[in-house]
Every structure is written in C-alpha cells, then in structure tokens.
Amino acid sequence: MTFSHLSRLALLAPAFAILAADPALEVPLGLLPIQFPKSNPYSPEKRELGRLLYYDKRLSADGTVACATCHAPENAFTDNKPVSSGIKGQTGGRSAPTVFNRAYSLAQFWDGRAKSLEEQAGGPMQNSIEMGNTHEVVVKTLKGIPGYVARFKQVFGSEDFGIDEITKAIATYERTVLSGNSPYDRYKAGNKKAMSESQIRGFDVYFNKAKCDQCHEGVNLTTNAYHNLGVGTDKANPDEGRMAVTKNPADWGAFKTPTLREIARTAPYMHDGSLATLEDVVEYYDKGGNPNKNLDERMKPLKLTAQEKKDLVEFMKALSGEGWQAKLVAPTVFPK
C-alpha cells in the first residue's frame, strides 16, 4: 500500500473504524489492521452470515453459481481459469481476481468500477453472464428461507432486510480473507533464513533491476493504480479497461494492478488470463509488453539474464503466505 493510499484512508477516517480485538480474527505478519466502514461495522455474526452467503448458490438465478464458484478457497480464492464461467456455462472476457486482502483496496474489479467491497458484492448477482439474477429476486429468495431471516434479524435487527444488508454481510466476510506471514514477510522482519538464496537474489532483482515495486509495493504489493501493459491490445477488439468507467481516453487499455500476494497459486495471469505461468509473466515484462497507443511509459525491456528471471520467479513464490488456509473453510450446511 502506498503512502498516498494510506493517506487517502486516513482522510476517510471518520467513515472507517479500525477493527477491535476479536479472538476469531488475526492479522498475519506483514499486514495492517483491517479497517471496516462505520456504515458497515464488524461483528462475528455478520462475518458468519457473509460467509454463508458467499458460498450459497441459491443467490444465482438457477442455483448453480455462488461467489465461491469463481473465487474458491481451494484455488486461492480464484478459479484458476483464463476467464470465469457463470450460469449456463457462459464465459466473460476477464479472469477472476483473488479475494485476498481486498480490505486494503477501495475500488474493486479490474476496471475499478465498484467504489467499495459492498458495491462489488452486488455486481455479479445481477450480471447476466455470472449469476444471472436480479437484486429483487435475491432478496425474495433469502426472505423465503427462515434460517436466513433469523440470521439477518440477529445481525441487522430486522427481518425486513434488502440488498444493502446482503452485500454488507458478504463484504464483511471478504474483508477477513487475508494472506500474510509469507517467507518474504518473515525475511523483512529479520529472519534471513526465511527465503532461499535464489529468492533473496530475486528480491534484489524485483526491487532494484526490474523495479517491480513501482507498481507492486507496500504491504499488499500493489499501488491499486491502473496501467496499460499492452496485454490484449493486439486483439481485434481490445478490452477498453478503465476507460469504460472513466470515459477518459488516457485510461484506454489500463487495468488495476493486482496484489502479488499468493501469486504462485493464482495462475493464469493478467486481466484476460492470457499468461499461463509466472515464467510467462516475467518474459512478457522482460520484452517490455506489447506496443500500443497508450502503453505505460514504465513498460520497457528489462534485459534480465536467464538466472535473474529464474530468481525473480522464485521470489514471487516467497509471497505465498498464511492466515486463510485453516479458518476460511466452506460451510457444509446452509440455512433452511
């Protein structure tokens, strides 16, 4: 997280509350305390409600797709596909980003069209390709399940809940999906044996020669900014990326910089899933991307040696961490 991003959160302090101590939650080494909006304060009961909703396929039009379908814990909260599949096997044009550490990002989606996790949580439900439902039907479905009605009353104080309460619960759960305490974090904390010799050399390549931290820096290894890397710009109908949201031509082909946390577990890579391996990603950056009318000025040939490329990949493997494997388990029983 950049200083500027932290400053933005600080400016929003009246709207946010830092999570109080909770025995059910623990922030792994290397991360900052989670901040929850004051408009959506944390409670263990709300997190559990959100967890149930996140995995419940009844939120989709045909009962076949849940949030966890494309953001599955066993796949490091992605689906490990180039592009995701929704109801009736329909596919979109973008790869499902991981849910890890979304608490440290304000805008969501590859193009940043959602201003918060709450807004993001409601998007797939009414996307015709993803869950194919409407907010009205989702609310009606859940109100027809007594077990959910009781939980919403417990969490929000009323049985008359709507889509706002549903998305607040899901967002609360998503904010607790954390990854930290990686070999990289332990190395930074003083354990010089936490990373291998190759990873330590890759650390040097990352920060000094390749300067990956120009975009992938801070506690979550991303500036949360948007850049045109040239990915997909050589296709017949390139994805407009951020420009579709801002209508600013300068944002054509630009996509949000993702976290590198758990990057070794979240293949394939880039917004369109076009790069299958970390080796492919390094080769892509090494050549300086694909030339196009809006290529980011920092995309230039890196001229890495074969050993430097190998070491850089090994360093990225050191970004796989802990905090999610044991306690973020999918429910086996849902409200009835």
* Residues of each domain in the chain carrying CATH 1.10.760.10: 3-175, 183-317
Q: How far apart are CA 89 and CA 86, in angstroms?
A: 6
Q: Which of the pair, 3 or 48, is modelled with greater confidence? A: 48
Task: Say if residue 47's pLDDT is above 50.
Answer: yes
Active site residues: 130
Give the pLDDT confidence score for residue 3 in this predicted structure: 39
- Name the pLDDT band for 19 (thresholds 50, 70, 90): very low
pLDDT(21) > 90: no
Neighbours of 247 (CB within 10 A): 9
Residue 91 CB neighbour total at 10 angstroms: 12
Question: How many angstroms separate the first and last alpha carbons of the chain?
Answer: 41
- Please state, in angstroms and rounded to a whole number, the distance separating the CA atoms of residues 124 and 120: 8
Residue 5 has a pLDDT of 45
Q: CA 66, CA 124: separation in Å to the nearest integer? A: 9
| Predicted local confidence at residue 329, as pLDDT | 77
pLDDT at 11: 37
pLDDT at 151: 98
* Residue-level pLDDT at 325: 80
Confidence tier at 330 by pLDDT (50, 70, 90): confident
- At 24, the pLDDT band (50, 70, 90 cuts) reads low
Asked if 151 contacts 56 with a C-beta cutoff of 8 angstroms, the reply is no
Average pLDDT on 298-322 reads: 97
Q: Kindly provide the residue ranges of all beta strands, DSSP E only, lying in the chain, ordered along the sequence.
A: 16-18, 35-37, 226-227, 255-256
| Residues 111, 132: Cα–Cα separation, whole Å | 21
* Cα 11 from chain centre: 23
Q: Is the pLDDT confidence value at 285 over 60?
A: yes
- Inform me whether the pLDDT recorded for 27 exceeds 60: yes
Residue 37 CA to residue 168 CA, distance in Å, equals: 10
What per-residue confidence (pLDDT) applies to 60? 98
Question: Is 49 within 8 Å of 151 (Cβ atoms)?
Answer: yes
* Measured distance CA(27)–CA(219) in Å, rounded: 12
Residues of the chain above pLDDT 90, percent: 88
Q: How far is 95 from 85, CA to CA, in rounded Å?
A: 10
Instruction: Indicate the fold that domain 183-317 takes in CATH.
Output: Cytochrome Bc1 Complex; Chain D, domain 2 (1.10.760)
Q: What is the mean pLDDT of residues 148-170?
A: 98
pLDDT grade, residue 20 (50/70/90)?
A: very low
3-175 carries CATH number 1.10.760.10? yes
- Tens digit of pLDDT for each residue in 196-249? 999 999 999 999 999 999 999 999 999 999 999 999 999 999 999 999 999 999
In terms of Cα–Cα distance, which of 156, 113, 133, 137 is closest to 66? Answer: 133
The per-residue pLDDT for range 105-128, each reduced to its tens digit, is: 989 999 999 999 999 999 999 999
- Across the chain, mean pLDDT equals 92
Checking if the pLDDT of 289 tops 50, the result is yes
Q: How far apart are CA 218 and CA 43, in angstroms?
A: 28
Q: How confident is the model at residue 323 (pLDDT cuts 50, 70, 90)?
A: confident
How far is residue 41's CA from residue 43's CA, in Å, rounded to a whole number? 7
Q: How confident is the model over 45-51, as a mean pLDDT?
A: 96
Confidence (pTM): 0.92
Model confidence at 4: pLDDT above 70 = no
Q: How many angstroms separate the CA atoms of 53 and 165, rounded?
A: 11
